[in-house]
Structure 1
Amino acid sequence: MRFGELLHLWRDRLSPADAGFRATTARRAPGLRREELAQLAGLSVDYVLRLEQGRATNPSAQVVGALARALQVSREERDQLYVAAGLLPPQDGTISAHVPAGIQRLVGRLGDVPIGVYTADWTLAWWNDLWTATMGDPAELDAEQRNLARRLFTTGLPRVLHSTRGDTLGLAIVADLQVASARYPADGGLARLVRELHEASPEFARLWAESVPAEHTTDRKIIDHPEVGPIQLDCDILLVPGANLRIVTYTTAANTPDATKLDLLRVTGGRSGVRAG
């Protein structure tokens, strides 16, 4: 089956509710609209249309991976999509950015809190609307800039004013990358990331050389939001066994000024133009 036919078939199959959209009686088809798939995959509607019609050929591996995640396909179907695009599927021994459908349904139902899903090398693979409203839109960044380790040790985390974990976050990230390097020795992207960080960050090189095991614990952060001002959030990291994914959540205590700010972001999408205070 052609690439475009697979896209159309699996788009029609996916329930809008499972993808985080409201299903209404005005829909002419039970599945996702083309613009919804484009939104989920971070692509233009015109490009998705041209892919489905076969007028756009040779999509990149990054595009195919984004579409596979958006369509919530199985690992076998993901590989089929890569082959239909004329690409080799991700190989064993390399990091996968595939987020299983069950995990997407789970985090998609937790829309009241900002949630992001990271791969084994700490690249953001999935996020919800409130994550975008709170942390900024990852779709505006290329895949390299969605990597938390790269940003932490080079440019810094743009909206984070304060973190109770301080330097221990960097230690835990380095420990994770060391574990990933041992588990995925054939992953060229991970090897390049580690080399780049060694060259760009003396702090990363020092922590890597010390090779101290470290675990992630709850972190309280103050986010400098351009619309609502400083907002204090608790950050927790949940591991997905078998998939080697990390679910990062931000929450705040109920009935607090910070909860009010998060409620405002939930309503406005972070584009109110009015500061809370």
Structure 2
Amino acid sequence: MASAAIDGHQDSGHFGDFGDAVRRWRDRVSPESAGLTVAGQQRRAAGLRREELALLAGISADYVTRLEQGRATRPSDQVVEALTRALRLSGQERAHLFRLAGLAPPGPGTVPGTLAPSVHRLLERLAGTPVAVFDAAWTLLLANPLYTALMGDGPEDPDGPEHRRNGVWWTFLGPPRRVRQSDAERRATEAALVADLRATAGRYPADPRLRDLVAELRAGSDRFAELWDSGAVGRHEGTRKTIDHPQVGPVTLDCDILTVAGDDLRVMVYTAASGSADADRIALLSGTVLPALLTSSAP
């Protein structure tokens, strides 16, 4: 469930300020700090392009354009939250952007969704490694460009389902993605994710978005309902995964899940053994697919 709009409605008179704020904050984020620089690329501005902000936030470049121009005036709280992370806003700036969108900032007792500067620096240092950050409910918060190149475009769609960025939702209700799994592996992943989500629900019982997510999954998936009703509590651990990539072919990688304890975040890191064929495919992905992804739009 999206955060309630302030005073029950959106203040359209302030939405132009929303677009202005996004443009100003986009100009101050260097592409180098986000791992977006492509060798030999000519740039007209020091800050992020709209296409680059869209890539980092997991939304379309067209939607960023419409937001900045005031033609899209009802962004969900998930879209605003994604923009605050991609723009690296402070806590006060984050609250301000929510209010400019006519939304109340998420309150206490909800699953944390902010990224500390140290987490941003971690993604910068691992620019040559596919990395993504999830919150405790397995909602995708931020992915580096190489992760996006590996896994494909994110599920973000401003008019789509509310929980479209959530990994549990995509496991049970979303269309197939690039990860190849046997039936046994899929069932083990499903059980681990549900047990992990139940543990999170125990820590944040007052989070309305989490309650809505569980209700939607229970209503839409008999398998989820069965696992949820079993009462199992656990933690989703990393494993080896094979990703069928349309350009570089199958890539088998170790998937490790690191925990940022203080912020209750999950950092998913994909690696291959040095000198292996899979490492060569990641290098090919970084050298060909990623530059194409970053230069596909006009400057």
The TM-score with structure 1 as length reference comes to 0.82
Superposition pairs of residues 189-200 of structure 1, within 5 angstroms:
189-200=209-220
User: What SS is found at the alignment partner of 1:150?
Assistant: helix
Task: Report the RMSD for the aligned CA atoms in angstroms.
Answer: 3.1
What letter matches 2:126 in structure 1? L
What letter matches 1:70 in structure 2? A
Identify which of 160, 164, 167 aligns with 2:179.
160
Please tell me whether residue 183 in structure 1 is matched to residue 203 in structure 2: yes
**Cα–Cα, structure 1 residues 214 and 71, in superposed 2: closer, same or farther, change >3 Å?**
same
Contact persistence 1:116–1:248 (CA under 8 A): yes
Of the structure 1 ranges 7-16 and 258-267, higher mean CA displacement relative to structure 2 is found in 7-16
Identify which of 30, 33, 51 aligns with 1:18.
33
The alpha-carbon deviation at position 264 of structure 1 amounts to 1.4
Task: Name the counterpart of 2:4.
Answer: none
Please tell me whether residue 215 in structure 1 is matched to residue 228 in structure 2: no
The alpha-carbon deviation at position 138 of structure 1 amounts to 0.5
Residues 46-86 of structure 1 show CA distances to partners (whole Å, capped at 9, x for unaligned) of: 65456556566454323322221111012222011111222
Superposition pairs of residues 231-242 of structure 1, within 5 angstroms:
231-242=251-262
Of the structure 1 ranges 58-67 and 76-85, higher mean CA displacement relative to structure 2 is found in 58-67
The alpha-carbon deviation at position 111 of structure 1 amounts to 1.8
What letter matches 1:256 in structure 2? S
Contact persistence 1:115–1:250 (CA under 8 A): yes
**Cα–Cα, structure 1 residues 145 and 67, in superposed 2: closer, same or farther, change >3 Å?**
closer
User: What SS is found at the alignment partner of 1:248?
Assistant: strand
Contact persistence 1:227–1:271 (CA under 8 A): no
- 1-structure distance, mates of 2:174, 2:59: 26
Of the structure 1 ranges 150-159 and 119-128, higher mean CA displacement relative to structure 2 is found in 150-159
Of the structure 1 ranges 133-142 and 106-115, higher mean CA displacement relative to structure 2 is found in 133-142
Task: Name the counterpart of 1:275.
Answer: none
Task: Name the counterpart of 1:228.
Answer: 248
- Larger relative contact order (C-alpha < 8 A, sep ≥ 6)? 2
User: What SS is found at the alignment partner of 2:250?
Assistant: strand
> Which sections of structure 1, spanning at least 5 residues, go unmatched?
273-277
Superposition pairs of residues 88-99 of structure 1, within 5 angstroms:
88-99=104-115
Contact persistence 1:74–1:101 (CA under 8 A): no
- 2-structure distance, mates of 1:12, 1:229: 37
Identify which of 107, 124, 129 aligns with 2:123.
107
> Which sections of structure 2, spanning at least 5 residues, go unmatched?
1-13, 293-299
**Cα–Cα, structure 1 residues 267 and 81, in superposed 2: closer, same or farther, change >3 Å?**
same
Task: Name the counterpart of 1:31.
Answer: 47
Task: Name the counterpart of 1:151.
Answer: 170
Please tell me whether residue 253 in structure 1 is matched to residue 268 in structure 2: no
Query: Size of the alignment, in residue pairs?
Result: 272
Identify which of 134, 137, 159 aligns with 2:150.
134
- 1-structure distance, mates of 2:170, 2:69: 38
Please tell me whether residue 6 in structure 1 is matched to residue 21 in structure 2: yes
Identify which of 54, 57, 61 aligns with 1:41.
57
